[in-house]
Structure 1
Amino acid sequence: MGDPKEGWIGIYWNKTVQKWVWSGGDIVTYHNDLDLQNDGLVLLQSTADNVYWTVNGWQWKNGGEKHSFFCFDLTVVQEEKTWEEALEHCRKNNGHLTSLLSVTENLLATNEIQQSSIRERVWIGLRYLGDSWMWVNGAPLEYDAWSQGGDQDRQCPMKRRCGALTKEGVWESWDCQEKLSFICY
């Protein structure tokens, strides 16, 4: 059914509220350079009512077309724990601390924490071991969202060996003993 790196991402035009929304009901706040706020979308809405992800960014598509899709079930846990405690909590209840393997997954996780009462950042399943960053589920680190020139500690962290996601969608390295909220999947 097509390239697994492409697919529906769950954004559609809601005719009732006249806005682009996520399939979970939240209004879309990030739009990947697509003009979601333009008043001139009447023609577009009659021809394309959903958003499709490709390696080149988001595209408009008609919802009647058949394509692969991304399904991402996240649980934001607002209780604050160390990274290890968060990992254990996720394993006992939901599976893993989340891995963010693409722009789409990073955006979905960012949207989840923006909709919560999280103050600044949450633990994700990213850990510095040996001489590299890796995901706790074993997935390769092919995509990253480190701040541009910001978090230099990630290059060779001393104590900051655990990854966190900010409300702005940026990854940061943090001391694993800090207590933060976290995201399980």
Structure 2
Amino acid sequence: MVEDKMTWEQALTYCGKNLTTLTSLISKTEQRLAMTKIQRHAITYPVWLGLRFLGDRWLWVNGDPLEYEAWPQGGDQDHQCPMWRRCGALTKEGLWENVDCGKKLSFICD
């Protein structure tokens, strides 16, 4: 867990310099581990994940398939075809949200 706030691209570069990448949550177990990190650091705002909307779909930056998803049910479905908010973040409630990639957030490196 990196508490410094950076844009999505800056966070990706930061993780890469440490021979890792932004985290991919490919299962409920991975999701729980990420939530534990957020809670341990008392983070109350979204944190960057290695999730990006490219072309016409969401992809993990490390190439893992997007089989597990934790988007909010009902309400705002902007993540299905985002215009501006094309990077993925994890909320303190354990849900994913799409955020403007230029926003500065803390993040999790694998």
TM-score range, shorter chain: over 0.9
User: What is the SS of the residue equivalent to 2:79?
Assistant: helix
Asked if 2 retains the 8 angstrom alpha-carbon contact of 1:77 and 1:184, the reply is yes
Asked if 2 retains the 8 angstrom alpha-carbon contact of 1:151 and 1:173, the reply is no
- Deviation per CA, 1:31-65: give whole Å up to 9, x if none: xxxxxxxxxxxxxxxxxxxxxxxxxxxxxxxxxxx
TM-score, normalising length from structure 2? 0.96
TM-score, normalising length from structure 1? 0.58
Cα offset, 1:94, TM superposition: 4.3
Aligned equivalents of 1:98, 1:180: Cα separation in 2: 14
> 5+ unaligned residues in a row in structure 2: which ranges?
none
Query: What is the identity percentage for the equivalent residue pairs of Structure 1 and Structure 2?
Result: 64
Structure 1 runs of 4+ with >2 Å offset? none
Give the paired residue count: 110
Match of 2:80 in 1: 155
Q: Paired residue for 1:88, among 13, 26, 45? A: 13
Please identify which structure carries the higher helix content: 2
- Give the letter for the 1:178 counterpart: K
Asked if 2 retains the 8 angstrom alpha-carbon contact of 1:113 and 1:167, the reply is yes
| Alpha carbons of structure 1 residues 132 and 171: separation in structure 2 relative to 1, 3 Å | same
Asked if 2 retains the 8 angstrom alpha-carbon contact of 1:80 and 1:181, the reply is yes
Larger radius of gyration: 1
Moved more, 114-123 or 167-176: 114-123
Aligned equivalents of 1:123, 1:94: Cα separation in 2: 17
Q: Paired residue for 1:130, among 28, 49, 55? A: 55
Asked if 2 retains the 8 angstrom alpha-carbon contact of 1:94 and 1:184, the reply is no
* Mapping 1:91-102, distance limit 5 Å: 91-102=16-27
Match of 1:119 in 2: 44
- Give the letter for the 2:74 counterpart: G
- Deviation per CA, 1:113-138: give whole Å up to 9, x if none: 01103231100000000000000000
Cα offset, 1:111, TM superposition: 1.2
Aligned equivalents of 1:131, 1:101: Cα separation in 2: 19
- Deviation per CA, 1:124-178: give whole Å up to 9, x if none: 0000000000000001100000011144110110110000001111000000000
More RCO (CA 8 Å, sep 6+): 2
Match of 2:31 in 1: 106
- Give the letter for the 2:49 counterpart: I
- Give the letter for the 1:145 counterpart: A
> 5+ unaligned residues in a row in structure 1: which ranges?
1-75
Please identify which structure carries the higher strand content: 1
